[in-house]
A and B are shown apart, each in its own frame.
Chain A
Amino acid sequence: MTILSLYHRYSSHLLKQLAAIFFLTCVLPVLTVAQKKIAILFVNKAGAETLQPGNSYMNAWGETFTVYKFKYYIHNIRFADSVGQYVTVDKAHHLVDAADASSTVIQVNGLTGKRITSIRFTLGVDSVLNTTGVQTGVLDPLKGMFWTWNTGYIYAKLEGKSNISAMPGNIFSYDVGGYKTGESALREITLPVTTDGNITIVADILKWFDSRNKITIATNAVCHEPGNLAMQLADNYRNMFHTVPVNE
């Protein structure tokens, strides 16, 4: 037994060291020289729990709510190396939908010959696309992320029910958007990257209620237009993201 445990103890140590040497001398140079594909994975959560449409959660104000829909547009993904220069690797719009696993992974090109230290993207829809008619693909208005009576995209949507809501059917419904000056809900997100391969980004819906602004379902159950409440929600949810470091 002792031999085995000794073996275990040293082998793991040895292996780790060997692995580290191997990584530093062989893998890293190859990884950083070749332009490799990187998957960006969005993991939607409510606090520590994985978000599951249909499940109930509690916000910081003790309000229990059930989530039915959680979706958001992101575009213009940029990476920076240690020098801090951001390079656009994907200009396209993506609609991340908690109910559709395939929508939560985005493949992009890494940086040639450089280590990524930071990722930046825009949450929302480019303002020009709000004013130039009907778009296609994920921006097709049939995706339900579009206001038809007051033209503009819904950038992010969090909808469900809560007994605390005084709205008909106890709904709470946050549709956030706005492209005009003075009511822009576009937000830039910048996050550190400490991994070398794929990047996992957690989006925590509880931040919608509790970040820069205090938002309660009791006082604000509905946001269906651009304006102050939409901008407050946007200022909150811009902080809902964090990247997951290597061994989390």
Chain B
Amino acid sequence: MRKLFAIISVCCIICIGNSFVFVSSKKPTPLAFTIPKGWPQPVYDFKNNPLTKEGFELGRRLFYDGRLSRDGNFSCASCHQQFAAFSTFDHPLSHGIDNSFTTRNAPALFNLAWQKEFMLDGGINHLDVQPLSPITAPNEMGETLENILVKLRRDALYRKQFVAAFGDTTINTQRIMKALSQFLVMLISADSKYDRVMNGKASFNLPEGLGYDIFKQKCASCHKEPFFTDYTYRNIGLNMDTTIRDYGRMRITRNVEDSLKFRVPSLRNVMVTPPYGHDGRFYTLQNVFEHYRKKTPNGGTTDSLLRKGIPLSNFEIGQLTAFLSTLTDTTFLHNKRFALPTGMTLAPAPDAEMHRK
């Protein structure tokens, strides 16, 4: 009798406990990560964060949610817009909270699973910790992690989504970041005309083909295929903007030899990501070519490949431009899986209002 009572009471305690920590009986649905043909293995550690449909959808919602910022207006997507390959369209620097500006041009986001270091200076060593930076930066989203936890835990739909993605109701920093990573690593851009040509499914027209040859000769040593970057940090001879005073990679390594070096950006989707350069000083590709064409007087840490400039005739520039256009991946830019989730509205664009001021 006593034993029975004990068993019953233990059962009761477990039931009561369960109602607080709701455990999902349904397993999340695994999501396949497909490595494009000919590409190396990704560096992201999927064992530590297995991709699931539910995790991805949660990450997608977080990416578009303005509540990750202090005033509710600055979601990740406010600076990373899909139609601009998740860069900030038409802005040298992006708008942050309280009428602030970022100090760098927001990079496009794709193929992040192959990237070891993040930010233009490589200061961040893991994709999962990257969002901590924009979320807490006073010139980006200006929010605290504590506040975000409060907001998300209060939201019934988020509670449901966290259970679906991770098995129970725990909402913590780690899970938020893992969900965001699940969304971010799925942003694969590998279906441009260039890719289809490489896979034998299309062919370059004459200027594109000539442009590709020039590219391989003059650009590919840094903008290396298939990612169109070798992920190194280099100085292409840009003078420092004295209002920003950005020393690039040196800020992380504190090594003077890294002064004014920035990561080689990918050129995939380059047609939709103007302006260019780490501070967005080049409004057009033509401006970039003009820079490469001239001798770079800025000695010091300027890359040895660029000391004399890259000789480029107007003719070659035309062909290079034709080739670079083949790197636009419209499948990626219009992929509905990466777009604003249905039922969500984007926070009122901070832009329009700010530009009026």
Contacts and interface: CB of A to CB of B under 8 A. Distances in A.
Interface stretch (A41-49, A141-149, A164-172, A231-239): A141-149
Nearest to A147: B123
B169 to A, nearest CB: 15
Interface string B180-204: 0100000000000000000000000
A142 B173 contact: yes
Nearest to A133: B128
Interface string A217-248: 00000000101000000000000000000000
B155 interface: no
Given A134-B178, A146-B132, A148-B133, A141 B124 contact: no
Contacts of A131: 125-126
A133 B128 CA distance: 5
Contacts of B127: 133
A140 B137 CA distance: 17
Nearest to B145: A142
B4 to A, nearest CB: 35
A151 B125 contact: yes
A140 B124 contact: no
B174 interface: yes
Interface in A147-178: 148-152
A148 B136 contact: yes
A146 to B, nearest CB: 7
A225 B123 CA distance: 12
Contacts of A225: 254
Given A148-B133, A150-B252, A142 B125 contact: no
B298 interface: no
B124 A151 contact: yes
Contacts, number: 66
A132 B48 contact: yes
A136 interface: yes
Contacts of A142: 144-146, 149, 173
Contacts of A134: 128-129, 132, 173-174, 177-178
Nearest to B136: A148
Contacts of B178: 133-134
Nearest to A225: B254
B183 to A, nearest CB: 15
Contact of A140 (B128, B133, B172, B251): B172
Interface in A47-82: none
Interface string B112-128: 00000001000111111
B241 interface: no
B129 A148 contact: yes
Contact of B174 (A130, A136, A149): A136
B45 interface: yes
A133 B145 contact: no
Interface in B135-175: 136-137, 144-146, 149, 172-174
A2 interface: no
Interface string B23-37: 000000000000000
A2 B91 CA distance: 95
A18 B178 CA distance: 62
Nearest to A135: B174
Given A134-B178, A140-B174, A149 B124 contact: yes
Given A136-B174, A227-B254, A141 B123 contact: no
Contact of A141 (B119, B137, B173, B254): B173
A141 B132 CA distance: 8
Nearest to B254: A227
Nearest to B49: A133
A141 B146 CA distance: 10
Interface of B: 45, 48-49, 119, 123-129, 132-133, 136-137, 144-146, 149, 172-174, 177-178, 181, 251-252, 254
The 9 closest A-B pairs by CB, nearest first: A133-B128, A142-B145, A148-B133, A134-B174, A151-B125, A148-B132, A150-B123, A134-B177, A133-B126
Interface of A: 130-136, 140-142, 146, 148-152, 225, 227
25 contacts: A131-B126, A132-B45, A132-B48, A133-B45, A133-B128, A133-B129, A133-B174, A133-B178, A136-B173, A136-B174, A140-B145, A141-B132, A141-B145, A141-B173, A142-B144, A142-B146, A142-B149, A146-B129, A148-B132, A148-B137, A150-B123, A151-B125, A151-B129, A152-B125, A227-B254
